[in-house]
Structure 1
Amino acid sequence: MAETSEIRNVGLIGHVGTGKTSFADAILFNAGQNTRLGKVDNETSLMDNEPEEIKRKTTISSAIANFFWKNKLINLIDTPGSANYIADSKNCMQGIDAALIVLDSIDGVKIQSDKLIKQAKELNLPMAVFINKLEREHSNYKAVIANLDKSFPAKPVLIQMPIGEETSFKGVVDLLEEKAYIFEQNESGKFSVQDVPADLKADADSLREQSLESIVECDDEVLEKYLEGQTLTSEEIQKALKAGIAKCQIVPVLFGSALKNIGVVQALDFINNYLPSPVERGEIKALSQDGSEIQIKPSATEPLAALVFKTVIDPYAGQLTIMRVFSGKVTPDSVIYNATKKSKERIGQILHLVGKKHEAVTQALAGDIIAVPKLKETQTGDSFSDEKKAVTIPTVKMPAPVISFAIKAKNKGDEEKIHAGLKKLMEEDPTIHLTRDAQTKEMILSGMGQVHVDVTIEKLKRKFGTEVLLEAPKIPYKETISGSTKVQGKYKKQSGGKGQYGDCWIELHPLEKGKGFEFVDNIVGGSIPRQYIPAVENGIREAMNEGVLAGCPAVDIKVVLYDGSYHPVDSSEMAFKVAGSMAFKKGYLQANPILLEPIMHVEITVPEQNIGDVMGDLNSRRGRMLGIDAEGKTQTVKAEIPMAEMLQYAAVLNSMTSGAGVFVMEFSHYEEVPAHLAAKIIELNKKDHKEED
């Protein structure tokens, strides 16, 4: 078992399609975890092994590999790059000590990479860059490098330079050690160490000097020696580089090809030698029981502090809880305290993972990442600690869903199975939301995009043997009035024997937005006996809930009951309830009723070249622009847009921006529907209600 100082927790982060999983597979092959070079395209990847991932040839769920490289324990996390799964990536970033940003040599930093880089900055994570796919036609690493400054909070510093381009790419120059690594062209990862090629020497020397100027600034002693013109030793350069990375002052840049297995071993050595251990990363923030902030020291002798950053439903092991141990230690066959749930959990086995492979370990010390099977109450985001010194570790905020569907069971009687299955999937993925719309009576499944929902439905069928039908959800329109009126509601029924009689006069007035319903009893002189007044209110409330204009709930209305009459024999609560309902419905139509629709606050981030198309499209969706923020090569549009116009927006934005655009939205408020649209909606709603009846 590795000591805390010998652990490296590294996440592969970046936009979809940059080759993160191929890079992870190449790392595992070189580290002896696979007898062949796993590849996504031929379905031999160790990391992408879910059927939904294999089908789409893209990472859907983060995968963890615990392995040793030259006596260091590397806990590697391959994270998804799609906006559909950004929450998984963000959660995993809470468990690592450094982010290795994987970029491709053509596109460089795209929007999703940019968002994840910002998240890494918020978490104060040291970062490094691996520019991948240098073997590709049209690769242009120089253009990628030229734009790195715009995306990273610290200065990018070249540690290597490529040897050759496109199909002639064959190795890398280590600028600091002034060595060339020339690889065999057979994907074996074997290489020879040579002098820097003569035709690259001048460029290598120039780049080395530029890099040294940035590196030495990270250590005062080394800087002083450098400024005095003294020759720096390799150890001094390494010391300054390591300090600069740990303090987030520089972002080292490496090169390679995951598919050709070039530069991967050098990246592994770089992880070992330069990325921080948990000890070098230092203390982390936690919250004590009284809410005060405290520091957690990364030591096995300290009280336990651990964070669950992922949950996996494994077909063989059941639920696997993935946690980072920040301090203390965890051992098998023990009981630990869930400080979030304020409950105890029994630990059976402790596992290390490499994709689907599980290996039991005897203990997990501070800094380690482990999987624990079959915990009963623990969920993603929970903290474990010493019960007597309970602490919780703050977690990242989950993004709100951006797409929703109404779901129905394909096979009658499957409703309970669907709910149980989705509940399990929600434990694995907290960005899946299942709610019941109280107004429309629909079950609503929400997610981060069309792909996210599609994959969820596929998993539901594969893991739980049940299918659902997806439909566009009904928009939860509401109604209100814009004018005032006075009206009578009189219910009189006589057919022999005891009759029914209820008579009331009411005023209707509009209220401010969000005020709901106000009922005022202004009856004087006993025109309506006290025992019947609640019945009038109940009749009005029922009529409001059913709606009058379009069958949608009525809101923000004040009703004043000011007069009426009764019959000593025929009056009853039921009669006055009917009279109240009649009065409201009659007066409602006289008080200028209007239809209201939900308005969403939307923020859309796109490459700057797409901003014109996006704004034009939003105008066609009745959007109201609130502002535009520019940052680097992206622009973020903030707008208010009717929910009805956003139901299929994820697919539209994906098409407009070739998959580069992302958006978030949340409910803002209700507004009046324009008259020409309201008439159509009212007609459709009335038709739907007739069919339901």
Structure 2
Amino acid sequence: MSDETVSRSCALIGPFGAGKTALFEALLELGGAPPRRARGARGVGLQLGGATYLGESWSLLDCPGSIEFFHETEAALAVADFAVLVADPDPARALACAPYFRALAEAEMPYLVFINRIDGFTGRMRDTLAALQALSRRPLVLREVPIRAGEQITGYVDVASERAWRYREGAASELIAMPSEIVPREQEARTGLLEALADHDDALLEKLLEDVVPTPEEVFEQLRRDQRAGAIAEVLFGAAERRQGVRRLWKALRHDAPSALDSVRRRGVAAEGEALAQVFKTLHAGHAGKLSLVRVWRGEVRDGMTLAGGRVGGVQRFVGDEMQKVAAAGPGALVALGRLEGAMTGSVLSPDDGAAPLPWPSPPAPVHGLAITTEDRKDDVKLSSALQKIAEEDPALTIAQSPETGETVLQGQGEIHLNAVLERLAKAYHLRLATHRPRVAFKETIRRPARRHARFKRQTGGHGQFADVTLEIAPRGRGEGFSFIDKIVGGAVPRQFIPAVAEAAEATLAKGVFGYPVVDIAVTLVDGGFHTVDSSDMAFKTATRMAIQEALAEADPVLLEPIDHVTIILPNEFTSSAQRLLSTRRGRILGYAEKPGWPGWDEVEALVPAAELHGLIIDLRSQTQGLGTYRRHFDHLAEAPGALAEKVAVAASR
């Protein structure tokens, strides 16, 4: 495999509103995509497009900007050769790029920064660069200096070549003489560039110390080497919707981005051997069936070949946003493979079914849930099938069947994420669904002991039914669970019926006075009576239910609510806001500290009732520029406040 024989790929990442999709469309348009692609189909999921620039084949991945689809960005970074972080020019919005800089560092992905929408920018580029640099673990090197006419940016100077260009509407930029007023700023930026490069090149450092001007070839070569290695990140700018700076970006991708072979080495994949591919996205495309979008790491993937125990039912590459069938795809290609039923997102595919796994990002824990029901019960079976397919497409979506409430709950990354799932269920599977807030898995217990006697007697033709029990119930320590104690003496209840009493006692506690399971309770069988002919397991179960239900009402029942341990992760400038937010939700703040390895970010820990967590992520993101998130786990049960218990009791009585 050589660099000249493989395709390359680039992921466009960045926060919502930075203009990634406009840049994606502009790159495709200048890369030979059909003109209609410029209008684009804007979606919330990962979009794939194919382009050819100056004879080189490229796959472009347009990653969604909403933080609720961040897992799609992580998937793209796992398979792409290079990334372009698209940023807004306003320094005040730089913080929104923090998760993307962190993901790039964790993926060890080479990247450059493209500052978009500069056609309306009146601030200083150095301020934007400083704000972004504060978030990046790598040196950000300004490759261009803006040329202005008044407040408007009309062109740029390439500080590596020291040549100036003027933007032209709908055409390539025009080479011009460098304006004299820009020379001091250009020299300042060039010095910064050379110093950054000299950090990785002793020969260049020696020249700078001796005031020897390096040749353009030396600068370009070191820049290319450092950029491909991820030692630095170039910073370019433009206005994608006006096609300004897009050709310049294409040239940077062509010259400075790593090759597919570089990526193979970076991932530790052997360059030689049988075909090797990895699924980075799964789609169920109606009549076309299941499609697995894959990165070909090595070799050639062909129609009809066997991969991971399945036969490839078609290979399709992307031209613009459209798929075209091809016989085969080689190293570096991002293509769709048909009907590999056993392949899952993240799967490694090879003719040898035992291929070693490659690293893959773990799906994020859910932070928002909605209970769903079909409006027509006849659609229940269809819903089950549709949910299975959608969960296969979206690893960040969890389908939970709550054992406590019996509800089917969609759990995901936020309101936008779950709304997108509901929209897909409606459009692709024609399912009309009702949604509601998931019920909280309350529990009940008792505060004091109670004793009840119950006799069940029924006489019908033939054998009748008879059972007599006296039961005591008593509270146990929190977390000690259910206990059954047999204190029968003298055969008041025959031994063969006692297991039925124990079974019925535990089953009856599944629904207490408030309508929820009763926990941490001891039931003691202290006395009883029987009939030699009419007594039976069923009769003793019925008598037991009667006694338990009456005893619960007298034992000072109390509602228990689950309390979760919540850890909020957010930029430290919002820490006080998060604490106030938790307090309004009956949270008890445990403390906060800087998150290890995340400079400028805090973790706030609190104990919060589960009943107060619905919608927390919505409020949290609204107060943290969309950056805050949290994780949770069950901590303990606690007595619910009186007002909540009364509300639940009223609902249970209806």
TM-score, normalisation: structure 1: 0.86
Aligned counterpart, 1:578:
542
In structure 2, how many angstroms separate the alpha carbons of the residues matched to 1:63 and 1:397? 21
> Which of the numbers 475, 480, 487 marks the counterpart of 2:451?
487
Q: CA deviation at 1:655?
A: 4.2
Aligned counterpart, 1:67:
51
> Which of the numbers 598, 608, 614 marks the counterpart of 1:647?
614
Q: CA deviation at 1:573?
A: 1.1
Q: CA deviation at 1:551?
A: 0.9
Q: CA deviation at 1:109?
A: 5.4
1:135 is paired with a residue whose SS is helix
**Is the 8 Å Cα contact of residues 566 and 606 (structure 2) preserved in structure 1?**
yes
Aligned residues: 649
1:380 is paired with a residue whose SS is coil
Unaligned runs of 5+ in 2: none
**Is the 8 Å Cα contact of residues 549 and 682 (structure 1) preserved in structure 2?**
no
Amino acid at match of 1:128: L
Q: Is 1:685 matched with 2:651?
A: yes
Counting only pairs closer than 5 Å after superposition, residues 223-234 of structure 1 correspond to structure 2 as 223-234=205-216
Aligned counterpart, 2:255:
273
In structure 2, how many angstroms separate the alpha carbons of the residues matched to 1:371 and 1:247? 29
> Which of the numbers 596, 621, 636 marks the counterpart of 2:585?
621
**CA 1:166–1:324 in structure 2 vs 1: closer, same or farther (change >3 Å)?**
farther
Q: Is 1:195 matched with 2:195?
A: no
Deviations 1:633-683 (A, max 9, x none): 6554333322221223344335445x5243233342342243323432332
Q: Is 1:23 matched with 2:23?
A: yes
In structure 2, how many angstroms separate the alpha carbons of the residues matched to 1:164 and 1:475? 59
Amino acid at match of 1:247: A
> Which of the numbers 334, 357, 365 marks the counterpart of 1:392?
357
Amino acid at match of 1:437: S
**Is the 8 Å Cα contact of residues 28 and 320 (structure 2) preserved in structure 1?**
no
**Is the 8 Å Cα contact of residues 28 and 50 (structure 2) preserved in structure 1?**
no
Q: CA deviation at 1:587?
A: 4.2
**Is the 8 Å Cα contact of residues 19 and 116 (structure 2) preserved in structure 1?**
yes
Q: CA deviation at 1:589?
A: 4.5
In structure 1, how many angstroms separate the alpha carbons of the residues matched to 2:155 and 2:6? 28
Aligned counterpart, 1:241:
223
Q: Is 1:554 matched with 2:536?
A: no
In structure 2, how many angstroms separate the alpha carbons of the residues matched to 1:494 and 1:411? 41
Q: CA deviation at 1:107?
A: 4.5
Deviations 1:530-563 (A, max 9, x none): 21111011111111112x2311012233444455
Q: CA deviation at 1:499?
A: 4.5
**Is the 8 Å Cα contact of residues 465 and 536 (structure 2) preserved in structure 1?**
no
Aligned counterpart, 2:238:
256
Aligned counterpart, 1:325:
296
Deviations 1:400-438 (A, max 9, x none): 222222222234522233333333332322223333222
**Is the 8 Å Cα contact of residues 10 and 84 (structure 2) preserved in structure 1?**
yes
Q: Is 1:413 matched with 2:397?
A: no
In structure 1, how many angstroms separate the alpha carbons of the residues matched to 2:278 and 2:96? 25
Q: CA deviation at 1:125?
A: 1.1
> Which of the numbers 453, 456, 459 marks the counterpart of 2:424?
459
**CA 1:376–1:204 in structure 2 vs 1: closer, same or farther (change >3 Å)?**
same
In structure 2, how many angstroms separate the alpha carbons of the residues matched to 1:632 and 1:105? 23
**Is the 8 Å Cα contact of residues 371 and 435 (structure 2) preserved in structure 1?**
yes
Amino acid at match of 2:257: L
Q: CA deviation at 1:390?
A: 2.0
1:125 is paired with a residue whose SS is coil
Q: CA deviation at 1:632?
A: 5.4
Aligned counterpart, 1:472:
437
In structure 1, how many angstroms separate the alpha carbons of the residues matched to 2:294 and 2:429? 26
Counting only pairs closer than 5 Å after superposition, residues 488-503 of structure 1 correspond to structure 2 as 488-493=452-457, 495=459, 498-503=464-469
In structure 1, how many angstroms separate the alpha carbons of the residues matched to 2:4 and 2:549? 72
**Is the 8 Å Cα contact of residues 504 and 576 (structure 1) preserved in structure 2?**
no
1:88 is paired with a residue whose SS is helix
Aligned counterpart, 1:77:
61
> Which of the numbers 287, 305, 317 marks the counterpart of 2:276?
305
Counting only pairs closer than 5 Å after superposition, residues 626-641 of structure 1 correspond to structure 2 as 626-630=590-594, 635-641=602-608
> Which of the numbers 287, 306, 316 marks the counterpart of 1:335?
306
**CA 1:557–1:123 in structure 2 vs 1: closer, same or farther (change >3 Å)?**
farther
**Is the 8 Å Cα contact of residues 404 and 647 (structure 1) preserved in structure 2?**
yes
Aligned counterpart, 1:665:
631
Aligned counterpart, 1:147:
131
**Is the 8 Å Cα contact of residues 242 and 274 (structure 1) preserved in structure 2?**
yes
In structure 2, how many angstroms separate the alpha carbons of the residues matched to 1:166 and 1:500? 99
Deviations 1:493-529 (A, max 9, x none): 265874512324445341442x543334455554432
Amino acid at match of 2:635: H
Q: CA deviation at 1:310?
A: 0.7
2:561 is paired with a residue whose SS is strand
**CA 1:119–1:591 in structure 2 vs 1: closer, same or farther (change >3 Å)?**
farther
In structure 1, how many angstroms separate the alpha carbons of the residues matched to 2:396 and 2:188? 48
Segment drifting more, 391-400 vs 585-594: 585-594
In structure 1, how many angstroms separate the alpha carbons of the residues matched to 2:514 and 2:122? 58
**CA 1:275–1:586 in structure 2 vs 1: closer, same or farther (change >3 Å)?**
same
Unaligned runs of 5+ in 1: 39-43, 54-58, 286-294, 338-343
Q: CA deviation at 1:574?
A: 1.9
**Is the 8 Å Cα contact of residues 606 and 660 (structure 1) preserved in structure 2?**
no
**Is the 8 Å Cα contact of residues 329 and 366 (structure 1) preserved in structure 2?**
yes
Amino acid at match of 1:19: G
Amino acid at match of 1:576: F
**CA 1:4–1:563 in structure 2 vs 1: closer, same or farther (change >3 Å)?**
farther
Q: CA deviation at 1:356?
A: 3.5
Q: Is 1:675 matched with 2:648?
A: no
**Is the 8 Å Cα contact of residues 139 and 165 (structure 1) preserved in structure 2?**
no
Q: CA deviation at 1:627?
A: 3.3
**CA 1:33–1:388 in structure 2 vs 1: closer, same or farther (change >3 Å)?**
closer
**Is the 8 Å Cα contact of residues 596 and 670 (structure 1) preserved in structure 2?**
no
In structure 1, how many angstroms separate the alpha carbons of the residues matched to 2:429 and 2:613? 31
Segment drifting more, 487-496 vs 110-119: 487-496
2:606 is paired with a residue whose SS is strand
In structure 1, how many angstroms separate the alpha carbons of the residues matched to 2:412 and 2:353? 39
Q: Is 1:595 matched with 2:577?
A: no
**CA 1:681–1:661 in structure 2 vs 1: closer, same or farther (change >3 Å)?**
farther
The percent identity for this pair of structures is 28
**Is the 8 Å Cα contact of residues 328 and 365 (structure 1) preserved in structure 2?**
yes
Aligned counterpart, 1:290:
none
TM-score, normalisation: structure 2: 0.91
**CA 1:109–1:632 in structure 2 vs 1: closer, same or farther (change >3 Å)?**
farther
In structure 2, how many angstroms separate the alpha carbons of the residues matched to 1:255 and 1:571? 87
Q: CA deviation at 1:459?
A: 2.0
Q: CA deviation at 1:619?
A: 0.6
Amino acid at match of 1:500: F
Aligned counterpart, 1:97:
81
